[in-house]
């Protein structure tokens, strides 16, 4: 039996690959610094439960009989596993390269791209295909709520059929590595790098695809040309797949599509767009659009994507992975469709993110929130002592400059929790937003318990 190792085992991109490779018969070793310092215990147990051998990130996982070490783009050369692999001349693969290898084994590959919505759309497609017994493989960055009682982290579906669905990441340019049967360009917005570079990535991705799905509502994705494409829209009835009369419901959203009313068990008009992307992609597999829309009524969403953590004393709290201007705006707009004040907290994940999109983020927040809504920014999650002059407080000042005066900088989780507990009132909706920090869901539960 072949042995392989993964460094960064807890990561959203690495964890589904570890689990799939275990099911393929490999002996898998996983390491993660967060496990070594006592964090992410729930994810550590979930991975152990499906047979992954979790060991310390000290190079001990890299033995002479390891076939290769798989790492994400975030893993540095100083990582002990990487050092040991180089010492032993053991091949090192990027996560995206292993994903490409698996993806290329399936004749009908669907790669979901876009700076927003790709995780949810990937999950929607996987859920539809699995429910309709199409036996897909799905590799995703987010965990499906429908499968949360399964062993392991439910961010994958594994079958050895002829369809594979993946989330194709543009943040490191790896989206250009895939050659799908169907490529989806959900949208293009400012995140990770310049708009020029993003358009270059997505254009190459489209050229690598046999068929392409295009969102007509995005001014950037709608510019992409291809000889074989289908479109979707919530604004333009000329699109191949068009939804309209989108209305917020008590527990989600409903919409008109092809003359019938359908519903989703998720908040936000943006999820109707994700549903349309799913319907359009599945149409290339000859799945009836109405059957697809009806199947999606059973989809329960993704963990950490505007996930309702709970309600207490007529106060509801949500955990959300939103971390760029368009995602933050979409989540806040989804909550603004309902009555009641919003108390929002955002924790920028990296100094680069705060610098790259901070001003644009401030503008979006100020446009959506009303006077009585409260916006809190915590200090940047991955800030180091070398990041001089970079702080979330800069974004707070820009939010105020853009017209929303009820914004504040509260550096730590304890500061944020104390403020929310002391100021929350019945009817409020609390949303905790941020990426990379897996403890935010537990933080939401702490707040819920305290109010």
pLDDT in tens, 144-156: 999 999 999 999 9
Q: What local confidence, expressed as pLDDT, does residue 133 receive? A: 97
Query: Is residue 307 helix, strand or coil?
Result: strand
Q: What local confidence, expressed as pLDDT, does residue 191 receive? A: 60
Query: Is residue 116 helix, strand or coil?
Result: coil
Q: What local confidence, expressed as pLDDT, does residue 192 receive? A: 57
Report residues of the chain scoring pLDDT below 70. 1, 190-193
By DSSP bridging, strand 156-157 and strand 136-139 are: antiparallel
Residues 348 and 377: beta-carbon distance below 8 Å:
yes
Over residues 71-108, the pLDDT tens digits come to: 988 888 999 999 999 999 999 999 999 999 999 999 99
Tokens of 292: 């697809």
Rounded Cα distance, 179 and 103, in Å: 9
Q: What local confidence, expressed as pLDDT, does residue 380 receive? A: 94
């Amino acid at each position: 039996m072949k042995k392989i190792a993964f460094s960064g085992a807890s990561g959203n991109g690495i964890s589904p690959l570890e689990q799939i490779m275990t099911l393929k018969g490999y002996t898998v070793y996983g390491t993660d610094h967060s496990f070594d310092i006592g964090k992410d215990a729930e994810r550590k147990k979930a991975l152990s439960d499906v047979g992954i051998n979790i060991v310390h990130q000290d190079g001990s996982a890299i033995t002479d009989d390891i076939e290769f070490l798989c790492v994400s783009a975030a893993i540095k050369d100083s990582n002990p596993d990487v050092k040991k692999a180089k010492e032993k001349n053991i091949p090192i693969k990027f996560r995206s390269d292993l994903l490409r290898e698996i993806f290329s084994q399936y004749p009908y590959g669907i790669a979901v791209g876009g700076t927003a919505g790709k995780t949810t759309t990937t999950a929607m497609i996987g859920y539809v295909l699995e429910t309709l017994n199409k036996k897909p493989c799905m590799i995703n960055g987010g965990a499906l709520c429908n499968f949360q009682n399964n062993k392991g982290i439910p961010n994958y579906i594994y079958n050895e059929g002829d369809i594979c669905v993946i989330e194709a990441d543009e943040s490191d340019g790896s989206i250009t590595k895939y050659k799908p049967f169907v490529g989806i360009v959900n949208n293009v917005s400012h995140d990770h790098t310049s708009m020029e570079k993003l358009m270059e990535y997505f254009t190459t991705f489209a050229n690598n695809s046999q068929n392409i799905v295009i969102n007509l509502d995005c001014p950037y994705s709608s510019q992409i040309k291809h000889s074989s494409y289908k479109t979707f829209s919530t604004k333009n009835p000329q699109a191949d797949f068009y939804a309209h009369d989108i209305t917020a419901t008590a527990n989600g959203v409903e919409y008109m599509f092809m003359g019938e009313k359908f519903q989703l068990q998720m908040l936000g008009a943006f999820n109707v767009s994700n549903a349309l992307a799913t319907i359009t992609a599945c149409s290339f597999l000859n799945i009836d659009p109405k059957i697809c829309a009806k199947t999606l009524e059973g989809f329960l969403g993704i963990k950490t994507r505007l996930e309702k953590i709970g309600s207490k004393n007529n106060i509801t709290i949500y955990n959300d992975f939103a971390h760029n201007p368009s995602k933050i705006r979409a989540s806040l707009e989804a909550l603004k469709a309902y009555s009641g004040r919003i108390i929002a907290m955002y924790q920028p994940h990296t100094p680069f993110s705060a610098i790259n999109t901070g001003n644009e983020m401030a503008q979006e927040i100020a446009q959506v929130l009303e006077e009585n809504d409260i916006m809190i920014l915590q200090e940047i999650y991955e800030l180091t002592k070398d990041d001089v002059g970079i702080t979330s407080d800069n974004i707070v000042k820009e939010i105020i400059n853009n017209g929303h005066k009820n914004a504040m900088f509260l550096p730590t989780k304890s500061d944020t929790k104390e403020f929310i507990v002391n100021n929350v009132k019945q009817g409020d909706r609390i949303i905790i937003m941020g990426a990379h920090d897996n403890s935010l869901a537990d933080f939401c539960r702490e707040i819920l318990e305290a109010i």
